[in-house]
């Protein structure tokens, strides 16, 4: 019996913000099914009393002093932007048009 | 490497000439190997000239004066394109420098360029690069290992004197073994991850490659040490790694107990590899070490544990590639959602996609405890195995890889088979302990075999001492692969 179905793969792809083609969904279903079958072997170990280990080295989260310091210059920060406008990263419209604004999508 | 640094420091050798000689080799042989993605000839000669000026002015140029390095394309380099061998990060020119490359530069090392790798360091064969294959210098039909395949191949083929890599599940040691060079994954936090593109944050270990363990030690001495820019870096003093190599080379291993874990010598491993590693164990015994059996009983769960943890962390780390601030952006998206999904769908290769999907799956509400939570608990048991073993021995010796380099395409269709190539290297990453790989022989077909020396946390010196002692008794590290055919000038022009 398969552990994961194509519909579930599509759902996860949506959660991961990852567009997959139909062929990719089919291939992903096969691959994930095999990997999930393999990792199921962990179930045979009793770990009820084991403390989870998130990190190899225990450390406290250090906080830096709450002081102002120079940050990356604006031009440097925006240098790699695929699209920019003035001092902003440009993205498609998020808020629906109607209340002001031109309502035009990005070219 | 020491010959270069000593010669340059003494003014007997010009760093510029050294850099030019390596750049010439890259020009002649890189087309056949695919090790470099980007060669920064101008920058390298400029850095080398600065070293020469320092020497001429009587200033100390640093312990790595004029040593030419290949830098894995996962290290962020100011002003020099950094892509992680991906399509999605193509054209990214970083506005800052990684701590490791910064420290090496200040120590006089010269960056020749950025070397190839599996995309986002995800792979065991360097077949997942969006920028093309890297070939194994010992046999061009074979993989160099991954994900730091470009680093290992470049060192093996003398396209650099040393190289930088990262090791999340074996990505330094496995290619080092398959290309017949030395490489080390230090203790987690020993080397800063600042400016190293994140794959799985709790498992990523930057580390060095060299032709000899002494080269690796010399690089690590400069790379290691606490970094205020990385909250996970360890505030422990850096060891005297070169001295440790020399002490192993000179004084042998008397009084040292070396553990041999039965779980790493299972039926099914390549017979030639087993024979070479057993012979290496005999050599270490003759060098004065006491060999004793130890057990790491949870070894068989390491790969499953590793893949659940690394994919969970990767799905989170790779969320930053959304087409907004840098890299690729899908054209004509009508909404922000669509922009994200299409950019990522078009920009990532298959292996990152598979890992993002698995990671998202195991972190989902309702599945989290069954997969990710379970894996974190098994991780503890795997780390505890090492703690117990190190009460009996000072270091653990195993093969680095159960198989020699395989042919291109041989395992690409089967992700599980591919993941098993890392079976002998992943457990030290889960535990965060250091491990060194060095050459210990060749198969009849002429492919290198690697020996792995695992130490306790912050026990890099023990690994280096053992490695030095082994190198003093063998000559595997002195062998060089054949030079690939040189590209003709007309081929170069076309």
Judge: A28–B336 Cβ closer than 8 Å, yes or no.
no
> pLDDT value at position A104?
47
> pLDDT value at position A45?
96
Judge: A83–B301 Cβ closer than 8 Å, yes or no.
no
The four Cα atoms B75, B431, B217, B213 give a dihedral, to 10 degrees, of -110
Judge: B304–A9 Cβ closer than 8 Å, yes or no.
no
User: Pairing between strand B36-39 and B182-185?
Assistant: unpaired
> pLDDT value at position A58?
77
Least Cα separation, residue A23 to chain B (angstroms): 12
Rounded-to-integer distance, Cα B466 and Cα B285, Å: 11
In this predicted structure, the answer to whether residue B263 has a pLDDT above a threshold of 90 is yes
B486 or B314: which leads in pLDDT? B314
> pLDDT value at position A103?
43
- What is the value of ipTM here, to two decimals? 0.92
Residue A21: both structure tokens together: 């083609």
What is the per-residue pLDDT across B89-102, written as a single tens digit (0 to 9) for each?
Answer: 999 999 999 999 99
Judge: A81–B326 Cβ closer than 8 Å, yes or no.
yes
User: Cα–Cα–Cα angle for B12, B17, B18, nearest 5°?
Assistant: 85
Sign of the C-alpha dihedral computed for residues B34, B83, B95 and B201 taken in this order? negative
* E strands, A1-107, in order: 84-85, 88-89
User: Pairing between strand B290-294 and B257-261?
Assistant: parallel
If pLDDT is split at 50, 70 and 90, which confidence band does B269 have?
confident
What is the per-residue pLDDT across B116-154, written as a single tens digit (0 to 9) for each?
Answer: 999 999 999 999 999 999 999 999 999 999 999 999 999
Across B466-492, average pLDDT: 88
Across B286-309, average pLDDT: 97
Q: What is the mean pLDDT of chain B?
A: 96
Is B157:B31 a contact under the CB 8 Å cutoff?
no
Across B461-477, average pLDDT: 98
Closest chain A CA to residue B232: A59
**In 3-state terms, what secondary structure has residue B453?**
strand
Burial string for B426-444 (b: 16+ CB within 10 Å, else e) reads bbbbbbbbbbbbbbbbbbe
Is B242:B217 a contact under the CB 8 Å cutoff?
yes
* E strands, B140-216, in order: 162-167, 182-185, 205-210
Across B417-430, average pLDDT: 90
Residue A57: both structure tokens together: 């080295």
Least Cα separation, residue A98 to chain B (angstroms): 16
Rounded-to-integer distance, Cα B231 and Cα A105, Å: 42
Closest chain A CA to residue B201: A55
Judge: A17–B341 Cβ closer than 8 Å, yes or no.
yes
Q: Which residues in chain A have their CB less than 8 angstroms from residue B319's CB?
A: 17
- Closest partner residue to B301 (CB to CB) among A18, A42, A80 is A42
Least Cα separation, residue B301 to chain A (angstroms): 7
Closest chain B CA to residue A51: B377
| Helix (H) and strand (E) counts in chain B | 18, 11
Cβ neighbours of residue A13 closer than 8 Å, sequence gap 6 or more: A19, A20, A25, A28, B341, B357
Cβ neighbours of residue B321 closer than 8 Å, sequence gap 6 or more: B88, B89, B327, B343, B344, B347, B348
Closest to B124 in 3D by CA, of B366, B419, B484: B419
> pLDDT value at position A95?
80
In this predicted structure, the answer to whether residue A99 has a pLDDT above a threshold of 60 is no
Rounded-to-integer distance, Cα B455 and Cα B463, Å: 6
- Closest partner residue to A32 (CB to CB) among B346, B357, B432 is B357
Rounded-to-integer distance, Cα B74 and Cα B147, Å: 10
Judge: A92–B202 Cβ closer than 8 Å, yes or no.
no
Q: Which residues in chain A have their CB less than 8 angstroms from residue B415's CB?
A: 31, 34-35
> pLDDT value at position A3?
86
pTM equals: 0.95
Is B127:B412 a contact under the CB 8 Å cutoff?
yes
Across B169-177, average pLDDT: 98
Across A64-85, average pLDDT: 93
């Amino acid at each position: 019996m398969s552990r994961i179905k194509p519909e579930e793969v599509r759902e996860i792809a949506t959660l991961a913000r990852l567009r997959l083609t139909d062929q990719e969904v089919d291939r992903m279903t096969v691959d994930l099914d095999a990997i999930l079958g393999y990792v199921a072997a962990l179930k045979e170990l009793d770990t009820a009393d084991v403390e989870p280990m998130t990190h190899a080295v225990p450390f406290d989260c250090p906080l830096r002093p709450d002081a102002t310091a120079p940050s990356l210059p604006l031009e440097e920060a925006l240098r790699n932007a695929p699209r920019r406008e003035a001092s902003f990263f440009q993205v498609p419209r998020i808020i629906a048009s109607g209340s002001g604004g031109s309502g035009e999508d990005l070219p | 490497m020491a010959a270069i640094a000593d010669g340059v420091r003494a003014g007997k050798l010009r760093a510029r000439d050294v850099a030019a000689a390596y750049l010439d080799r890259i020009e002649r042989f890189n087309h056949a190997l695919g090790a470099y993605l980007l060669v920064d000839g101008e920058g390298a000669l400029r850095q080398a000239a600065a070293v020469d000026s320092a020497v001429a002015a009587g200033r100390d140029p640093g312990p790595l004066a004029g040593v030419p390095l290949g830098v894995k394309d996962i290290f962020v380099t100011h002003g020099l394109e950094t892509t992680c061998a991906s399509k999605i990060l193509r054209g990214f020119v970083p506005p800052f420098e990684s701590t490791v490359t910064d420290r090496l530069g200040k120590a006089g090392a010269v960056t020749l360029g950025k070397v190839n790798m599996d995309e986002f360091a995800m792979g065991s064969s360097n077949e997942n690069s969006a920028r093309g294959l890297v070939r194994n210098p010992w046999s061009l039909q074979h993989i160099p290992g991954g994900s730091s395949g470009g680093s290992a191949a470049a060192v093996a083929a003398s396209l650099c004197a040393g190289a930088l890599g990262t090791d999340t599940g074996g990505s330094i040691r496995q290619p080092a073994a398959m290309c017949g060079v030395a490489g080390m994954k230090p203790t987690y936090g020993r080397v800063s991850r600042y400016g190293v593109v994140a794959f799985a944050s709790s498992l990523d270990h930057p580390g060095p490659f060299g032709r000899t363990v002494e080269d690796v030690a010399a690089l690590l001495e400069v790379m290691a040490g606490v970094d205020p820019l990385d909250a996970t870096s360890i505030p422990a003093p850096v060891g005297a790694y070169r001295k440790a190599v020399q002490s192993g080379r000179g004084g042998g291993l008397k009084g040292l107990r070396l553990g041999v874990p039965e779980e790493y010598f299972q039926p099914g491993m390549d017979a030639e590899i087993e024979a070479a590693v057993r012979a290496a164990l005999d050599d270490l015994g003759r060098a004065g070490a006491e060999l004793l059996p130890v057990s790491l009983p949870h070894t068989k769960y390491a790969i499953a544990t590793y893949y659940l943890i690394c994919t969970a962390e990767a799905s989170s780390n790779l969320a930053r590639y959304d087409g907004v601030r840098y890299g690729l952006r899908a054209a004509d998206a009508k909404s922000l959602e669509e922009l994200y999904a299409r950019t990522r769908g078009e920009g990532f290769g298959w292996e990152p996609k598979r890992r993002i999907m698995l990671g998202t799956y195991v972190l989902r509400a309702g599945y989290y405890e069954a997969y990710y939570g379970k894996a974190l608990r098994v991780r503890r048991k795997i780390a505890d195995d090492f703690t117990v073993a190190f009460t009996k021995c000072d270091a653990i010796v195993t093969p680095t890889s159960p198989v020699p380099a395989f042919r291109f395409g041989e395992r690409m269709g089967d992700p599980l088979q591919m993941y098993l190539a890392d079976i002998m290297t992943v457990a030290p990453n889960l535990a965060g302990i250091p491990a060194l790989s060095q050459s210990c022989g060749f198969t009849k077909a002429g492919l290198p075999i690697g020996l792995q020396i695992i130490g306790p946390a912050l026990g890099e010196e023990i690994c280096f001492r053992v490695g030095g002692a082994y190198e003093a008794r063998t000559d595997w590290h002195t062998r060089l692969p054949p030079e690939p055919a040189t590209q003709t000038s007309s081929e170069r022009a076309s």
